[in-house]
């Protein structure tokens, strides 16, 4: 890679982007943070505001409002720019608006000589991560989407609440599209090594139908939040900060991200949310869980929905690199 320090370039300083920048500063994750936005005054104001918090930060961070030339030496370019999801709108409804925006952004980044890792958060994230890979020509392991990292966090939080256990001790994944066709992997959900299904069997106060409600609340969480406050941003910002830390600190952490499948889970040529090992090189490998037959069917349905959305844009065109 071109640069051995820790430089993150953030493209898009809206609700998600500015919350992410704030999380990075609070946790002292990166040495340099560059903010880029079409609304230059907003990005400049954010840089000023964040810099005023530096005396309270755990480690020094150089923060400035910049432009695409700053991407040349970036380790990570994080894209949160794009049209937001409106009430009653699905994430997939956003695809036409955001595809054009992304083609322009990615080409500008690549013109700088960027040779790091892309992290995509804009919705529909699985579709736009695939688009970023196509537009950039980078190896697929160096293009990552936030995928179901937030859905998995929501899932763990709600299961922790239900079973009265710290969410950090709940091990459970949401996989598939970050959207309406995602699915819970109940066959691998456990608390401290004990299967959630065992808790249900052994204790009368827990019921199977409650688990179905928990998943519905995970899947529809964004709609509930958008209805109340217009957008979701704190949760995903924390998820992006977690991913950034895993990459920059070479953690080899297992996180549910939008990753490129090349035969894993029976699918290929698609970006979709699955557990993957993330490190300084991007996605080291996909963690392929043994799914139940019902889970396999749901995952295939999710993959098919995403492929149908991508088809009009990319069809079976070869990867440009």
- Residue 319: per-residue pLDDT: 44
Please report where in the chains the tokens 């982007």 appear, as a residue: 17
Give the number of other CB atoms < 10 A from CB of residue 2: 13
- Residue 321: per-residue pLDDT: 36
Give the number of other CB atoms < 10 A from CB of residue 53: 13
- Residue 91: per-residue pLDDT: 66
CA atoms of 175 and 180, how far apart (whole Å):
11
- Residue 175: per-residue pLDDT: 98
Asked whether 97 and 83 are in contact (CB, 8 A), the reply is yes
Which pair of tokens denotes residue 97? 């608006």
Q: What is the pLDDT along the chain (321 residues), one digit of tens a residue?
A: 344 459 999 999 999 999 999 999 999 999 999 999 999 999 999 999 999 999 999 999 999 999 999 999 999 999 999 877 777 777 677 788 899 899 999 999 999 999 999 999 999 999 999 999 999 999 999 999 999 999 999 999 999 999 999 999 999 999 999 999 999 999 999 999 999 999 999 999 999 999 999 999 999 999 999 999 998 999 999 999 999 999 999 999 999 999 999 999 999 999 999 999 999 999 999 999 999 999 999 999 999 999 999 999 997 544 433
Residues belonging to the active site: 178
Which pair of tokens denotes residue 16? 């998600």
Q: Compute the half-sphere exposure of residue 224: CA atoms within 13 Å on the CB side of its CA.
A: 7
- Residue 87: per-residue pLDDT: 75
Cα-based distances in Å from 188 to 170, 183, 203, 308: 11, 12, 19, 29
Q: What is the DSSP letter of 168?
A: G
- Residue 315: per-residue pLDDT: 77
């Amino acid at each position: 890679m071109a640069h051995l320090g820790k430089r993150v370039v953030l493209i898009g300083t809206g609700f998600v982007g500015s919350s992410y920048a704030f999380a990075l500063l609070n946790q002292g994750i990166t040495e340099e943070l560059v903010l880029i936005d079409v609304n230059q005054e907003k990005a400049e104001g954010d840089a000023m505001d964040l810099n005023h918090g530096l005396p309270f930060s755990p480690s020094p961070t150089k923060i400035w409002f910049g432009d695409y030339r700053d991407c040349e030496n970036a380790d990570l370019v994080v894209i949160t720019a794009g049209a937001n999801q409106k009430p009653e709108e699905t994430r997939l409804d956003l695809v036409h608006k955001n595809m054009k925006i992304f083609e322009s952004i990615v080409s500008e980044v690549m013109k700088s000589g960027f040779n790091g890792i892309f992290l995509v958060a804009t919705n529909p994230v699985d579709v736009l991560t695939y688009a970023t890979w196509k537009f950039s020509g980078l190896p697929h392991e160096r293009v990552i989407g936030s995928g179901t990292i937030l859905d998995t966090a929501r899932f763990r939080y709600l299961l922790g609440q239900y079973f009265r256990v710290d969410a950090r001790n709940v091990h459970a994944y949401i996989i598939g599209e970050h959207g309406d066709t995602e699915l819970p992997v109940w066959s691998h959900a456990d608390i401290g090594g004990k299967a959630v299904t065992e808790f249900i069997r052994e204790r009368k106060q827990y019921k199977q139908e409650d688990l179905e409600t928990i998943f519905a609340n995970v899947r529809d969480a964004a709609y509930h939040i958008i209805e109340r406050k217009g957008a979701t941003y704190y949760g995903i910002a924390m998820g992006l900060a977690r991913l950034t830390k895993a990459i920059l600190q070479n953690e080899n952490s297992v996180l549910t991200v939008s990753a490129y499948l090349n035969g894993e889970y029976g699918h290929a040529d698609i970006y979709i949310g699955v557990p993957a090992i993330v490190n300084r090189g991007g996605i080291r490998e996909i963690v392929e869980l043994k799914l139940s037959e019902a889970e396999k069917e749901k995952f295939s349905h999710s993959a098919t929905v995403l492929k149908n959305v991508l088809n009009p844009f990319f069809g079976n065109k070869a990867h440009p690199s």
